[in-house]
Amino acid sequence: MRETPNPHEPGRYEIHLQGHLNSRWTAWFDGLTLSRESDGTTVISGLIVDQAALHGLLQKIRNTGLPLICVTCVEPNPASR
């Protein structure tokens, strides 16, 4: 069975945006990794502590005006491995 994310525990997320974001934005996104893909998108990835932090991050992204393509929880409970 697929592991479901626990909303109150950290999880590793990937957020895909349309457009390339310069690496200077790393500090703005609290040290998450920014990688620029060849298809013109940016993937923001890293450990996000809980749902509140995830929504805070999405709000920061909204404020850039960059189109949001998808949000995925790639590793629900990295701590409990």
Partner 1 sequence: MATGLLQTKLYAPRRRRGLVPRPQLTDLLARGAETKLTLVSAPAGFGKTTLLAEWLSEAAEAGSATAWLSLDVGDNEPAVFWSHVIAALQGALPGVGTTALALLGSSGAPAAAVLAPLINELAAVPGQVVLVLDDYHAIDAPEIHDGMAFFLEHLPANLHLVITTRMDPALPLARLRARGELTEIRAADLRFTPDEAAAYFNGTMGLALTDANVADLERRTEGWIAALQLAGLSMQGRDDIAGFIAGFAGDDRYIVDYLVEEVLHRQSEQVRTFLLETSILTRLTGSLCDAVTLQAGGKATLEALERGNLFLVPLDDRRQWYRYHHLFADVLRVRLLDERPSMAHELHRRACEWHEAHGDRPEAIRHAMAGGDLARAADLVELAIPATVQARGEAKLRQWLEALPDELLKFRPVLSNAYAGTLLSRGELAGVEQRLQDAERWIDGRADAGIGEMVVADAAAFRQLPGSVAVHRAGQALMLGDVAATVAHARRAFDLVSADDHRARGGAAGLLALAAWRGGDLEAASGWYTAAMASLARAGHLSDVIGCGLALADIRLAQGRLAEALTVYERGLTLATGQGGRVLRGAADMHVGISTIFLERDNIAGARQHLIQADELGEDNGLPQNAYRSRVALAAVRRAEGDLHGALELLTAAERLYVNDFSPDVRPVAAVKARVLIAAGRLAEAADWARASGVAVADELSYIREFEHITLARLLLAQGAHETALLERLLTAAENGGRNGSVIEILVLLASARRAAGDAAGGRAALGRAMAMAGPAGYVRNVADEGASATPPTSARQPLVEPLSERELDVLRLLASDLDGPDIAHELYVSLNTLRTHTKNIFSKLGVNSRREAVRRASEIGLLTGTGRGR
What are the residues binding partner 1 (CB under 8 A)? 19-22, 24-28, 36, 40, 42, 62-66
Q: Which DSSP string do the residues of 28-62 spell out, in sequence order? A: TTTT-EEEE-TTSEEEEEEEE-SHHHHHHHHHHHH
Nearer to partner 1, 63 or 80 (CB): 63
Supply φ then ψ for residue 22, to 5 degrees. Answer: -60, 150
CB of 24 to partner 1, least distance (A): 4
Nearer to partner 1, 7 or 19 (CB): 19
Q: How far is the CB of 68 from partner 1 (least distance, A)?
A: 10
